[in-house]
Structure 1
Amino acid sequence: MKAPRRAAGLGASTPARAGILSALTAIIAGFGVIGLVWFAAALRVARLVITPAARRADTRILGLDTAAQTISLSRTPDTELPGRYGLFTRGSEDYIKLGSVLHEDAAAVTRKLLTHVDARAKLAVDAAFSGWYYDRPEQLHLPFTSHLVGSAVGPCPAWVFPADGDTWCIQVHGRGTTRAECLRAVPLLHSLGLTTMVVSYRNDADAPRSRSGTYGLGATEWRDVDAAVGFARRSGARRILLMGWSMGGAICLQLALNSAHRDRIVGIILDSPVVDWRIVLGYQAQQMRLPQPLTSLALRTLASDWGARLTGGGAPIPFDKLDAAARAAELRVPILLLHSDDDGFVPSDGSHALAAARPDLVRMETFTGARHTKLWNYDQNRWNDVITAWLADQDIVVR
């Protein structure tokens, strides 16, 4: 009969206990009570990094004119962007499409509604601005099928948009979102003859929960996407194109570095990708005005065995293995990087580093003003043209 498992924490009789006690002892000896406060703060930051979070309201609805079909939002660096976007709302509508900016001042922007909103609509004031645009596959008016892809954590839902040919594009969404984030790329890929598979992975809103329920920042999630590649191959795919958005980029890069299907991968497209998490987390900590020593302690916590136990993570975050620029020599296939130099969430430094490390494989297209994962929305024509030309140059599609 197996002995009962002990609860995780300081009472656990494992090597991690020694690491925790050692860390606490060092902090107390060096800084006393203040050190403990810092340690608690670092632990909280570390937990935030790996814990899936609900969508956060980032703008306010200031006015709704259903006669003119316009909406006024509080002005932010995102809501003032030109192009087409979406807005997550609460009330009689849960998601509406937004068109161009019609009027703006220092405090507000008024945009055209591209989703008809009834005069009787009641919307909560708080809302979340989005680059998704499409939020359901039916809106694309393309044939698709729904599937469940078996993975180590359970069945992960996926959509497949079939096209002629034996090249499939596997699309991977970012942190804290769902596969609907990827839908805006499907029409272009379909027009180029690519079957597109839009996948989910552990701990997102669509897929099963892992044992820990936390993100591995790409170190674990790539295995679920690898299962989707296996599904595609069994369904007739002979060549695989990967496409990742934000953290989905980190997942695609890990797939390219680790997958048993690497010989079938012919290229990678990355939109606003995470290439090195230390750059991203350092930048976000600066935006939060966190002291640099606190950020360093949070990163050390995430990377350690004892930290994984205290944060509830399934395993330490292997930041070195997740640094694709440092591992650039291991990459084998051409990569197209699309990144805004004023991304505002995932700085483009990692993308530039990867492009500099492998100029033979990597082509980088920089945008200005497009913000994070909103390049398609900001300049759809350029986004489409760049991808189309690159796919033709790599003989992945015939233009």
Structure 2
Amino acid sequence: MRASHGRAESAVKVIATAGLIVAGVGVAAGVGISALMAVMARRIVTPSTKSDEDVRVYAVDLAAGTIALQSTPDSVLRGDYSFWFSASSGHAHVGEILRQTSDRVTRRILRVDYGDLAAAVRGRLAGYSFLGPWDLGVEFEDVSVPTGAGEAPAWLVVPPEPDGRWVIQVHGRGVQRQETLRAVPVFRSLGYTSLLVSYRNDGEAPGSADGRYSLGDTEWLDIEAAIAFAAGRGATEIVLMGWSMGGAIVLQAATRSMLRHLVVGIVLDSPVIDWADVARFQGGTLGLPAVVASGALEVLGRRWGGLVTGQAGPIDFARLDFVTRAAELDLPVLLMHSDDDGYVPATGSRALAERRPDIVTFLPFAVARHTKLWNYDREGWNQAITNWLGEISPTGRTSHPDRPAGAAEG
């Protein structure tokens, strides 16, 4: 009876909170809309435990080295990709497109790392093509970055002649540091030491007390810890690079860290520039009314929202909006995004580029999907980074009119 009473009490709290959601966003919606707001809010900040296998496997010919997949916007992209199958218990690399029809595409199998690919019926394609630095054939070191939550694992790749220039690579939501391995070769060839980090709640680093993402609003502290680690190893100039949600995290670190004077530039691949923009887009792809996305952000931005989401504190979405805050940026930025991203719309990136053409170098893609820009056009992507690094000044910073150079924010 006591357990039943506890569940009933929890249900009352949820229903009461649903009513608060409706009042908070000023929408005369029913309980169904309120429930959708709560579900979407919780989904946004809850780390995923598994990824959907959204591509059907029609045929595998290991002797011929081919695999026939269902045609999707991702499966028909040119380039090399990871292919996870059998609930992520198997992994392979697929390459060039050999044949294509309206409903299926046949690609070259480059290699099978593990698992029985011949038995696969479904899978998912990912942009990162390497499982670890060992796949790159470079020397590396497994290191730990001391953070406020504990020791966060990272990979350290040092070039043949290190000179104090570092790049800290920050992966996106729902993936891990393997995502950023693609950037190691170009940075290493230019003399940069690469630090590929993990951060709270990503499945590798220690989790936060609430086990929830804060979409960059607290994760940046782990990047500040990585900056301190780099400085302790001799870094004198640091470039921050973020992918997807990692872009939001990097922007917070670059504007809030007490060590931001060491940062000389920012590289962003398919980044989140404005979470409201992303929520509206995601809600639209799910066929949800626009009020659901705005209501979900209202939940996440209010202290009482923790009753629904489990988060320890509210998220400051105004602080995460770098379209509105564009004037506050004082570092050179290389920004790359595809118009057909499919997950994080490029509208925020385009708006930032339009507002700050003085510091933002924008490389748009028409067809490359989310964080698959390197895979789609490896040469162009690498060249863009090479050119940009060659153009930024040694210090990389321009003084902000309202803040002395090197001063910390908030």
TM-score by length of 2: 0.88
Query: Could you tell me the percent identity over the aligned residues?
Result: 43
Give me the whole-angstrom Cα distance separating, in 1, the residues matched to 2:115 and 2:322. Answer: 51
Q: For 1:189 and 1:289, locate their aligned partners in 2 and report how far apart those are by CA, in whole Å.
A: 41
Correspondence 1:161-200 to 2 at 5 A: 161-163=157-159, 164-200=162-198
Query: Map of 1:136-175 to 2, 5 A cutoff?
Result: 136-163=132-159, 164-175=162-173
Question: Is 1:43 equivalent to 2:38 in the alignment?
Answer: yes
Cα displacement string for residues 130-179 of structure 1 (whole angstroms, at most 9, x for unaligned residues): 10011222100001001111111111110000122100000000000000
Partner secondary structure for residue 371 of structure 2: coil
Pairwise CA distance, 1:213: 0.6
CA contact (8 A) 1:92 1:122 kept: no
Contact 2:90 2:117 in 1 (8 A): no
2:223 aligned to which of 197, 221, 225: 225
Deviation at 1:303, TM superposition (A): 1.1
Question: Could you tell me how far apart the structure 2 residues matched to 1:330 and 1:58 are?
Answer: 40
Structure 2 counterparts to residues 1-399 of structure 1, below 5 A: 20=17, 23=20, 26=23, 35-53=30-48, 54-90=50-86, 94-116=90-112, 122-163=118-159, 164-395=162-393
> 2:62·2:118 contact (CA, 8 Å) conserved in 1?
no
SS in structure 1 at match of 2:111: coil
How far apart, in 1, do the equivalents of 2:87 and 2:45 lie? 30
Q: Which runs of 5 or more structure 1 residues have no equivalent in the other structure?
A: 1-6
Distance 1:63 1:107 in 2: 13
Taking the aligned partners of 1:165 and 1:264, their CA distance within structure 2 comes to 14
3-state secondary structure, aligned to 1:56: coil
Cα separation, 2, equivalents of 1:352 and 1:391: 21
With over 3 angstroms needed to count, the CA separation of the structure-2 counterparts of 1:30 and 1:376, relative to structure 1, is: closer
Give the drift of 1:308. 2.3
TM-score, structure 1 as length reference: 0.90
1:58 positional shift = 1.5
Match of 1:4 in 2: none
Q: Give aligned pairs, total.
A: 383
Provide the residue aligned with 1:3 in structure 2. none
Partner amino acid, structure 1, of 2:201: N
- Does the CA contact (< 8 Å) of 1:344 and 1:372 recur in 2? yes
Return closer, same or farther for 1:101/1:93 CA change in 2, 3 Å cut-off: farther
Q: Give, in angstroms, the shift of residue 21 of structure 1.
A: 8.5
1:94-127 deviation digits (Å, cap 9, x = unpaired): 2111111101111111100111589975433121
The unaligned stretches of length 5 or more in structure 2 are: 1-5, 396-410
Return the alpha-carbon distance in structure 2 between the equivalents of residues 20 and 47 of structure 1.
13
Indicate if the aligned counterparts of 1:157 and 1:200 stay in contact, CA closer than 8 A: yes
Structure 1 residue aligned with 2:408: none
Take 2:201 and 2:8, find their aligned partners in 1: how far apart are those partners? 23
Compared CA separation, residues 260 and 74, structure 1 to 2 (3 A): same
| Cα-Cα RMSD | 2.6
Greater shift in the superposed pair: 145-154 or 242-251: 145-154
8 Å CA contact retained: 2:248, 2:271:
yes
Tell me whether 301-310 or 258-267 shows the greater mean CA deviation: 301-310
Q: Report the residue type matching 1:45 in the other structure.
A: M
Distance in 2 (alpha carbons) for counterparts of 1:92 and 1:21: 36
Question: How far apart in 1 are the matches of 2:248 and 2:88?
Answer: 36
Q: Residue 271 of structure 1 contacts residue 373 of structure 1 at CA under 8 Å; is this kept in 2?
A: yes
**1:195-237 C-alpha deviation (Å, 9 max, x unpaired):** 0000000000211111111100000111011101100000000
C-alpha separation between the residues in 2 aligned to 1:180 and 1:252?
17
Letter in 1 for 2:41: A
Q: Determine the C-alpha separation between the residues in 1 that align with 2:88 and 2:126.
A: 18
